[in-house]
Structure 1
């Protein structure tokens, strides 16, 4: 399955049905009068969040969505049928923008949530509506109004509580495969991971927490370099960040600084998100060249947070790391609850 997280589409609501001009012509009913019915309302276009969808792939091949038009009014004061609404399913986490103005129309985050994106046109009035003491036989009616037409941009932002970030080949995919049932492509060259990978990691309580492996962050990612610019948006929804560093790198401090600078450059408060640092691949580190204890202290002083030494391959240090993840996640969730209660 292709991972598509952006799409541009056009939506058009249905046109309202026309009102008609008609008169009652029945035996034994003298001067029956106007009896033209109103047109039906045009169908509207709604988006609905669907938990079974994971990508915007369907919108790559289908760019236009139109709801049904309303029915024309009928004689004997019959109102035309309303046009059927069109409901378009999108993945949870889809943000809808007006492509022309850039204004955000809505954000669908939970399954079953719906959003009206284009309203159907009103039906036209039949000549019955214009009956008055002055005009006992109106011979005109109104056409239905057109439905809204909008150009939309869809952006999918993954819904994950923990985002795994780091430079290419830091071992992020190996880590998520060790912690969950996710099986991303893993190889010993940069940019092995071309799309975000999701994995569900079980808490000690048995609840599942979604982790996202965010690929392709390099220097300049926030300005479009590498793959990171395309996927930085997926970090926006995460509650905490798990920053994985390559223990075999020639300059781990610089690697850490590079990612932090990209988070700041991207904005939207990513640099303020709670972070946990993990130096990976300690099983492959030359201990005669690199003193891990000294490195751990240096990183902790620079970042102001705990630093864990792990090996995603041998699973060394993962238990302590995950305990910190659960504690931090619980703390962040509680802070959010307290913030809402204060309002």
Structure 2
């Protein structure tokens, strides 16, 4: 199935049915009076998040969706039937915004979450509502209200705890294959990953996290080079970024330090908030270096990195287990911190906390 993570659609709620003006015409009832019923309400358009769907491909080729119109009223005090609602299922993690204004409308980030995106029109009134003591044979009725209509922009942002960031062929797909059951394509040429892949990493029997692999980013992506920034949106929901760097490139002319700096610059151009997320440096392919510890230390010094550093080999598994346990501990700590923040009373004064002194990076293998 082709991976589609954005689509533009038009939705139309059903119009309300019209009310009618009719009168009783029965034997022995010469002055029957009005009996025109109301029109039915138009069907609404509802968006539903479904975890069994992982792409917006259903909305790439079918662009227009119309809910059912309400039936008109009829005589004998019969009201029109309401139109059926239209339920549109989208993947969990889909954000919906108004195409015309760009205003966000809803973020469907929970399975089963639903929202009425366009309300159906109200049915018109029959003439039974207009009879009075002085107007016993009203001939007026009202038409149904039109349903709401919107042009919507759907954007899918996958739900993952950890995102992989790096140049093409840095070993991101190999790493996700090594630590999870996901099987993305792996080959010896750039851009083998053409769409995001998700993998569940199970550390213990009841501890796991989700990791996202997106296509590689290259220098100049902001100007349209490579696959550009179109998949970086899938990293915006993550709580941790792993910057994978190929420390042993086949081409000796390639400078891993300059490539790492180029990736970070492109990330900053795309989104400052994404750039500010916690980010760890993961140096891959140390199995190809006879003096890996020395090369890793040289890279860290040349790069000027002050955060956490891991040296691994994704293909042989060296250092991968230690990295996954460190990620799990980080996610658990972040979850506890969020829960603690949620219990703090917003009106309470927050004392200033001293900032920890940064120490020299410790290379973890």
Q: 2:291 matched to 1:287?
A: yes
Give the drift of 1:256. Answer: 2.2
Aligned residue runs from structure 1 range 192-231, under 5 A: 192-231=192-231
User: Alignment partner of 2:173: what SS?
Assistant: helix
1:171 aligned residue:
171
1:74 matched residue in structure 2: 74
Give the equivalent residue in structure 2 for 1:270: 274
Output the CA distance in 2 between the equivalents of 1:168 and 1:104.
33
CA distance in 2, matches of 1:193, 1:126: 61
Indicate yes or no: 2:187 matched with 1:187. Answer: yes
1:153 is displaced (CA, Å) by: 1.2
User: Which residue pairs with 1:259 in the alignment?
Assistant: 263
Paired position in structure 1 for 2:362: none
Instruction: Give 1:316's match in structure 2, choosing from 315, 318, 328.
Output: 318
Quote the offset at 1:289 in angstroms: 12
CA distance in 2 between counterparts of 1:283 and 1:89 reads: 46
Measured against aligned partners, the alpha-carbon deviations of 1:240-277 in whole angstroms (never above 9, x if no partner) come to: 11111111144222222222222221125111211121
Gaps of 5+ in 1: none
Q: Summarize deviations over 1:100-157 as a string: whole Å, max 9, x none.
A: 1111111111111111111111101111111123322111211111111211111111
Distance change >3 Å, CA 113–CA 268, structure 1 → 2: farther
Question: Residues 60 and 288 from structure 1, CA distance in 2 versus in 1: closer, same or farther, beyond 3 angstroms?
Answer: closer
What is the distance in 1 between the residues matched to 2:225 and 2:20?
A: 60
Structure 1 position 225, deviation (Å)? 3.0
1:286, CA displacement in angstroms? 5.6
Within 1, Cα distance between the matches of 2:331 and 2:280? 11
Deviations 1:64-91 (A, max 9, x none): 1111110111212221100000001111
Q: Deviations over 1:152-201 (max 9, x none)?
A: 11111111111111111100000000011111111111111111111111
Residues in 2 aligned to 1:336 and 1:176: alpha-carbon distance in whole angstroms: 27
CA-CA distance at 1:285 after TM superposition: 2.9
Contact preservation (8 Å) 1:21, 1:126: yes
Name which of structure 1's ranges 60-69 and 257-266 shifts more when overlaid on structure 2: 257-266
What's the TM-score once normalised by structure 2's chain length?
A: 0.89
Q: Which runs of 5+ in 2 are unaligned?
A: 347-365
Q: Distance in 1 between matches of 2:293 and 2:106?
A: 53
Give CA deviations for 1:272-300 in whole Å, capped at 9, x if unaligned: 2111211001112363996223324555x
* 1:203 shift after superposition: 2.1
The 2-side partners of 1:152 and 1:225 are apart by 28
Q: Does 1:158 align with 2:162?
A: no
Task: Tell me what 1:341 maps to.
Answer: 343
8 A contact 2:286–2:292 mirrored in 1: no
Map 1:77-96 → 2, pairs under 5 A:
77-96=77-96
2:15–2:41 Cα contact (<8 Å) kept:
yes
Distance (whole Å) between structure 2 residues aligned to residue 2 and residue 286 of structure 1: 42
Distance 1:51 1:125 in 2: 41
- TM-score, reference length from structure 1: 0.94
8 Å CA contact 1:67–1:84 kept in 2: the answer is yes
More moved, 282-291 vs 149-158? 282-291
Higher mean C-alpha deviation, range 330-339 or range 64-73 = 330-339
Could you tell me whether the CA contact under 8 Å between 1:276 and 1:325 is conserved in 2? Answer: no
Higher mean alpha-carbon deviation, 311-320 vs 125-134, is at: 125-134
Tell me which residue corresponds to 2:353. Answer: none
Q: Which moved more, 1:266-275 or 1:175-184?
A: 266-275
